[in-house]
Structure 1
């Protein structure tokens, strides 16, 4: 039997890429990166630059400095209501819809009867776009033969669920949560299926009840899922647009930052620089929330 020399055995073998390997790497990595830069980061950087200009999309571009941001905060009445609505949307999804999705996932994970049926029914809204959900909300909540007012018997004096600025934002958040809950439920259900049963058995042997086992054993193991769900919740809340635009074009109590961007960029009076400033504000808030959440989650995972 041939013996391998110590020098050759201790030296790691280096794999040399052939031209074919390099071509495959360029195709598989280069094209997605180029598409990402062209579709995502290119427009993002362009919006940041345009936010400091005054441009109607046709004429010359004029440098405006911070004038767009100053007018946005001081001379644009819909801005602050839109900020409040976006924050309220985020809190509603994060504090009500997301925990409810986790609750449903825990119930189904316990092996209730017809669990597959419940999964399908609860996940079904996820395949619908928010614009379709908005149209469905109009059918259910409309004052003209709306299903909810019909069931309540409000024929002579129906409640204007979508026209009353004190009610419509809540109705839209509930409708959006209907879709969000199913998505969160599936993510947490997948995470619960991956939890080692031995951990639950060890907790039961130590005398922990079901509530203590879930919060002290199961939930900490779901930290990676929590990160994904948290990021998705922030994105869903801050990019909400189509559902309110389908109802009343995002007006009369349904103002959101995404709607203001659309109104200023492609509206009748095109103000691309001003709309870009709103887009930069939305981008900053989104990144701030996501980065803060990720830092807290990763710091907690490191301290464990």
Structure 2
């Protein structure tokens, strides 16, 4: 085989992936940027180029709604990332022990990831039903009345709980893979030096899990900053927009009668910039922390 033929084979092998990437990622992204500069409202034959008017609207006329959505999104993202990481590490350490039913525990914790968001959302909607749900009945025993998902003071906290419950199994599996790659000799050496279980975790486990921590943090940030599906099923952004994340806000704008898809595209670009900036900052500090360990 000549040199020219050997050079073309990598491109031929990459071609299917490049075609799919272009069709489902690249072209839609370019289209979204274009439509964000128009007043497109569903009629491909009748729309005008409006420049940056949609972006101006987002930070002037619609400022309160957009800023509230961004604020709730950041609260949701930070809280879920911290809680899910902390719980997942603890669970990974526990199921990594030599237990009789360790495989059962791992499968049980991971199961919500298999169920899907719709099923998870419907299950917890029934659990948090303010009239006949088990949580409401439990609260009634303590003479506590609450609308639960219908209460704007606690609705976001309940959505965060469901989000962490539904995805902590995936994070746990990543941490478990990291734990199983740590040589046992390091723990034996730490034990000989008199290190307790906590000190071994602090000085052996955590430093060697930093790469997995970085991966989990980035995945969680990307996922939570764009979340709308679980919120749509549980609260639809309510009550009183207390769970209206930016992803949910964009979703409502797409299907509301008073907004154009062009404006929703502009909001999607704002969301992309926020995700890019937050991920860049998180990755910078995570990588820096890896070198410190």
TM-score, normalised to structure 2's length? Answer: 0.89
Q: Does structure 2 retain, via aligned residues, the 8 Å contact 1:141–1:161?
A: yes
Q: 2 CA distance for matches of 1:204 and 1:38?
A: 55
Please tell me whether the aligned partners of residues 85 and 213 of structure 2 are also in contact (alpha carbons under 8 angstroms). no
Partner residue of 1:38 out of 23, 27, 50: 23
Match runs of 1:82-231 below 5 Å: 82-153=69-140, 158-231=145-218
Q: State how far apart, in whole Å, the 2-side matches of 1:158 and 1:24 are.
A: 67
* Residue of structure 1 equivalent to 2:37: 52
- Is 1:79 the counterpart of 2:66 in the alignment? yes
User: Deviation at 1:27?
Assistant: 4.4
Aligned equivalents of 1:265, 1:65: Cα separation in 2: 19
Pick which of 176-185 and 212-221 moved more.
212-221
Where in structure 2 are there 5+ consecutive unaligned residues?
none
1:140·1:146 contact (CA, 8 Å) conserved in 2?
yes
CA deviation vs aligned residue, 1:46-98 (integer Å, no higher than 9, x gap): 22232222221315332323322222122223222211211111111111122
1:218 and 1:283 map into 2 onto residues whose CA distance is 34
Distance 1:70 1:189, change over 3 A: same
Seen in structure 2, the aligned counterparts of structure 1 residues 303 and 34 have a Cα distance that, compared at 3 Å, is farther
Q: 1:240 aligned to 2:245?
A: no
Aligned to 2:287: 298
When normalised by structure 1's length, the TM-score is 0.86
Secondary structure at 1:74 match in 2: coil
What is the correspondence of 1:24-35 to structure 2 with a 5 Å cutoff? 25-35=10-20
Instruction: Label 1:156 to 1:188 Cα distance change in 2 as closer, same or farther (>3 A).
Output: closer
Mapped contact 1:98–1:180 kept (Cα < 8 A): no
RMSD: 2.4
Q: CA deviation at 1:200?
A: 1.7
Which residues of structure 1 form unaligned runs of 5+?
1-14
Structure 1 residue 157, shift from structure 2 partner: 7.7
Report the Cα distance in structure 2 between the residues aligned to 1:202 and 1:179, rounded to whole angstroms: 37
What is the total number of aligned residue pairs between the two structures? Answer: 289
Contact 1:162 1:171 in 2 (8 A): yes
Cα-to-partner distance string for 1:166-208 (whole Å, 9 max, x where unaligned):
1111111101110121111111011100101122222223332
For residue 66 of structure 1, what is the aligned residue in structure 2? 52
Tell me how far apart the structure 2 counterparts of residues 107 and 302 of structure 1 sit (CA, whole Å): 27
**2:152 match: secondary structure:** coil
1:157–1:102 distance in 2 versus 1, CA, 3 Å? closer
Dislocated runs of 4+, deviation >6 Å? 154-157
Q: Which structure would you say has the larger Rg? A: 1
CA distance in 2, matches of 1:128, 1:168: 22
Distance 2:147 2:243 in 1: 14
- 8 Å contact kept, 1:90–1:237: yes
Q: Secondary structure at the match of 1:188?
A: helix
